[in-house]
Chain A
């Protein structure tokens, strides 16, 4: 039996153990050196065990819905609390974070071997895990915001881990600043909600914004929409949604396990997590914004991923696209499906990233062995034919690709189809033409996803090796790296999400059972599992058939282009170049260029002008003129002081005294007779005076 106290204790341990790991690695990392990394892995293993314990107790039917809190500080009448929000969502999310984080730790032991900042790297991983757990456990928006910034910080530190490379340092800055844009919106949104309701906690907000029982925003639903969209801005930044998605692909400059942990599985999912938590108080209008942003991102990311050649960038854009899926699902009202996809995506995208890391690691070592330091070991054009060399990596990555493509028997099939069913149900319930765009975007992105994932697989593992000599030195990665791959591959099977009932189409699986539908409190009809199930039936298994069709089409196209070579990718690229489509995708739809033109250059121009104003006018003219005028005043005052006071008054006294001395000394003749004369005269005067008075 898990009591409130044990649960709180578990929460504290899960939260702070990674922080202890961080403190150890940063301050005492030298004690054990690289071997100390195992301590971090151990700490993470403990959090995994505790998280799993909580999950198991959920299975055993214990209700976990507590909000233990302590007073943080009081200002006047207002007091702020720190606390944990224990419910099914946070427990599942804790397990996801713990699984991916501990596997990434384990994997990094080998992947980062020999790195100059080995212990610091593990320290930052610990800091990240601490912050991420903080987000998951936070019971209030303000506490979540604190940890939200902390994950931003640790993300910045880890992207810039190899800061000697300019591109890595720049990518870190870009990630941090882009997130900043979203976070400002989020903060304003939090304050807006607080101004009206006076509450920061989720429970408090749910209670105070309930159309049924007296909504604090009554009559101001427009304001609530704005507040919701502003808070969602934070999610746009963190989850790399259009138009702030530009930082995520650049974030791939960080070490690959970091990409897997932070930029694929957990941190970027924090935005989705926040949106799911906020779902009950988002108005229909706000949800429409959320859904639209998600749909745009899903398609955009997928389109860009087609033409990228860097293996990690393909996966990064794939992540952007998949996150768009989740956000879209929340917007549709299918927040259970969104959270489901978040969990499955964490497993298979973590898997894909770790696989790509394994390939990069192997290729890098082979290239270094050959003395080649210039070839890009992340470029898929330099790979090929690695299937026989790295069988475990190949098989696990194939599983990952099948999962993300939505092939049956794999978890992606379930979660993706739940989302697609959600979009269909949405279109079914909203009888307007644009409602149909959401399922179209969803299925379109699904087809493209299947295509680019298999393009990646075929370019990397099939075909002829780009360099036979290098290929000969490629070896399968050691067990420390393949064990996480195999673990995640196993977790990508649908089986684990459909127990105990094995029917993937039912709403009876444990996940569906655990993740309760949250009521939208602003009067929006949310889509429950039953709704989604109904959606399947409504469309007469249309969803399933369509999913099969789009996934099959994507995979077949990839086979035709990249495996069999019936159609030449280069020729088609040329053909599409004429229409400008290829270029648009290859250059990521010119987002960076547009931002450069529309935002950075005007901004730099503005700062330049402001700097001119500040330096040339304010500083040089105003501030420095104080100096110049002070010098002038000083000179004048000095002149008065020297030529008047000093020379005339002070020296004048001296001159008068000297003159008097010069006159007076003439009396001192040295002749005794003269003195006698004076004495006589004096005597006579005294005599006369004495007699006259």
Chain B
């Protein structure tokens, strides 16, 4: 029997994996992928709370999740553009090598 806790648990695992990827990966694309995981963890939460939170007839969680997906798509576009420019400038996609503005 699928319960709210199981969804939240999967969502937590997704969030932690995403966070881990963001914090440990040096490759900008991998970091971006981590962010996508975190966003999807949130989406899963939104949908799950919508289903089990007594708000099913209005579907606010699903609508919210749709907005997040759209936003994540545009965010991916922007982020990938930044990474391309990063690569053009530094010939690398490692984010920690872009420290020109650091003291």
Do A676 and B102 touch across chains, with their CB atoms under 8 A apart? no
Do B23 and A665 touch across chains, with their CB atoms under 8 A apart? no
Do B23 and A670 touch across chains, with their CB atoms under 8 A apart? no
Interface residues of A in 638-678 (CB under 8 A from B): 665, 668-673, 676-677
- The answer to whether B19 has its CB under 8 Å from any CB of chain A is yes
- The answer to whether B1 has its CB under 8 Å from any CB of chain A is no
Do B99 and A670 touch across chains, with their CB atoms under 8 A apart? yes
Residues of A within 8 A of B52 (CB): none
Residues of B within 8 A of A677 (CB): 23
Do A673 and B103 touch across chains, with their CB atoms under 8 A apart? no
- The answer to whether A680 has its CB under 8 Å from any CB of chain B is yes
Residues of A within 8 A of B24 (CB): 673
Among B22, B96, B103, the residue within 8 A (CB) of A676 is: B22
Residues of B within 8 A of A665 (CB): 103
Residues of A within 8 A of B99 (CB): 670-671
Interface residues of B in 66-103 (CB under 8 A from A): 95-96, 99, 101-103
Do B102 and A673 touch across chains, with their CB atoms under 8 A apart? no
Binary contact readout B1-44 vs A (1 if CB under 8 angstroms, 0 otherwise):
00000000000000000010011100000000000000000000
Which B residue's beta carbon lies closest to that of A670?
A: B102
Do B23 and A668 touch across chains, with their CB atoms under 8 A apart? no
Chain A: interface secondary structure? helix
| Cα–Cα, bound, A669→B99 (Å) | 9
A50 to chain B, nearest CB (A): 108
Which B residue's beta carbon lies closest to that of A673?
A: B23
Residues of B within 8 A of A676 (CB): 19, 22-23
Among A670, A672, A673, A680, the residue within 8 A (CB) of B101 is: A670
Binary contact readout B38-73 vs A (1 if CB under 8 angstroms, 0 otherwise):
000000000000000000000000000000000000
Which A residue's beta carbon lies closest to that of B25?
A: A673
| Cα–Cα, bound, A668→B103 (Å) | 9
Do B19 and A673 touch across chains, with their CB atoms under 8 A apart? no
Residues of B within 8 A of A669 (CB): 102
A677 to chain B, nearest CB (A): 6
Do B19 and A680 touch across chains, with their CB atoms under 8 A apart? yes
A667 to chain B, nearest CB (A): 12
| Cα–Cα, bound, A670→B19 (Å) | 18
Residues of A within 8 A of B19 (CB): 676, 680
**Given A677-B23, A680-B19 in contact, is the A672-B103 Cβ separation under 8 Å?**
no
A148 to chain B, nearest CB (A): 95
Interface residues of A in 390-442 (CB under 8 A from B): none
| Cα–Cα, bound, A672→B94 (Å) | 12
Which A residue's beta carbon lies closest to that of B24?
A: A673
**Given A676-B22, A676-B23 in contact, is the A671-B96 Cβ separation under 8 Å?**
yes
Which B residue's beta carbon lies closest to that of A674?
A: B23
Residues of A within 8 A of B101 (CB): 670
Which A residue's beta carbon lies closest to that of B98?
A: A670
B19 to chain A, nearest CB (A): 7
Residues of B within 8 A of A673 (CB): 22-24, 96
Residues of A within 8 A of B22 (CB): 673, 676
Residues of A within 8 A of B103 (CB): 665, 668, 670
| Cα–Cα, bound, A669→B103 (Å) | 9
Interface residues of A in 672-693 (CB under 8 A from B): 672-673, 676-677, 680
B90 to chain A, nearest CB (A): 14
A671 to chain B, nearest CB (A): 5
B103 to chain A, nearest CB (A): 7
Residues of B within 8 A of A671 (CB): 95-96, 99
| Cα–Cα, bound, A673→B99 (Å) | 13
Do B95 and A672 touch across chains, with their CB atoms under 8 A apart? yes
Q: Quick one: which of B23, B95, B101, B102 has the most chain A CB within 10 A? A: B23
| Cα–Cα, bound, A677→B19 (Å) | 10
Interface residues of A in 150-166 (CB under 8 A from B): none
A331 to chain B, nearest CB (A): 112
Residues of A within 8 A of B95 (CB): 671-672
Which A residue's beta carbon lies closest to that of B101?
A: A670
Q: Quick one: which of A665, A668, A670 has the most chain B CB within 10 A? A: A670
Which B residue's beta carbon lies closest to that of A676?
A: B23
| Cα–Cα, bound, A668→B101 (Å) | 12
Which A residue's beta carbon lies closest to that of B26?
A: A673
B41 to chain A, nearest CB (A): 15
| Cα–Cα, bound, A671→B19 (Å) | 15
| Cα–Cα, bound, A561→B95 (Å) | 139
B96 to chain A, nearest CB (A): 5
Q: Quick one: which of A672, A677, A680 has the most chain B CB within 10 A? A: A672
| Cα–Cα, bound, A673→B101 (Å) | 16
Binary contact readout A539-556 vs B (1 if CB under 8 angstroms, 0 otherwise):
000000000000000000
| Cα–Cα, bound, A665→B101 (Å) | 14
A435 to chain B, nearest CB (A): 121
Which B residue's beta carbon lies closest to that of A672?
A: B95
A658 to chain B, nearest CB (A): 15
Q: Quick one: which of B19, B22, B96 has the most chain A CB within 10 A? A: B96
B29 to chain A, nearest CB (A): 15
A311 to chain B, nearest CB (A): 108
Which B residue's beta carbon lies closest to that of A669?
A: B102
| Cα–Cα, bound, A285→B96 (Å) | 125
Which A residue's beta carbon lies closest to that of B100?
A: A670
| Cα–Cα, bound, A677→B23 (Å) | 7
| Cα–Cα, bound, A389→B24 (Å) | 140
| Cα–Cα, bound, A241→B101 (Å) | 108
Which B residue's beta carbon lies closest to that of A665?
A: B103
Binary contact readout A509-528 vs B (1 if CB under 8 angstroms, 0 otherwise):
00000000000000000000
Which B residue's beta carbon lies closest to that of A677?
A: B23
Residues of B within 8 A of A670 (CB): 99, 101-103
Residues of B within 8 A of A672 (CB): 95
A321 to chain B, nearest CB (A): 111
| Cα–Cα, bound, A559→B95 (Å) | 141
| Cα–Cα, bound, A665→B102 (Å) | 11
A183 to chain B, nearest CB (A): 92
| Cα–Cα, bound, A686→B57 (Å) | 35
Interface residues of A in 328-348 (CB under 8 A from B): none
Binary contact readout A562-603 vs B (1 if CB under 8 angstroms, 0 otherwise):
000000000000000000000000000000000000000000
| Cα–Cα, bound, A672→B102 (Å) | 12
Which A residue's beta carbon lies closest to that of B23?
A: A673
Which B residue's beta carbon lies closest to that of A668?
A: B103
| Cα–Cα, bound, A668→B102 (Å) | 9
A541 to chain B, nearest CB (A): 134
A255 to chain B, nearest CB (A): 97
| Cα–Cα, bound, A672→B96 (Å) | 8
| Cα–Cα, bound, A121→B22 (Å) | 114
- Other than the given A665-B103, A673-B96, A677-B23, 5 more pairs (CB < 8 A) read A670-B103, A671-B99, A672-B95, A676-B23, A680-B23
CB-defined A-B contacts under 8 Å, sample of 11: A665-B103, A668-B103, A670-B99, A670-B103, A671-B96, A672-B95, A673-B23, A673-B24, A677-B23, A680-B19, A680-B23
In the A-B complex, the 9 residue pairs with the closest CB atoms:
A670-B102, A673-B23, A670-B99, A671-B96, A676-B23, A676-B22, A677-B23, A672-B95, A665-B103
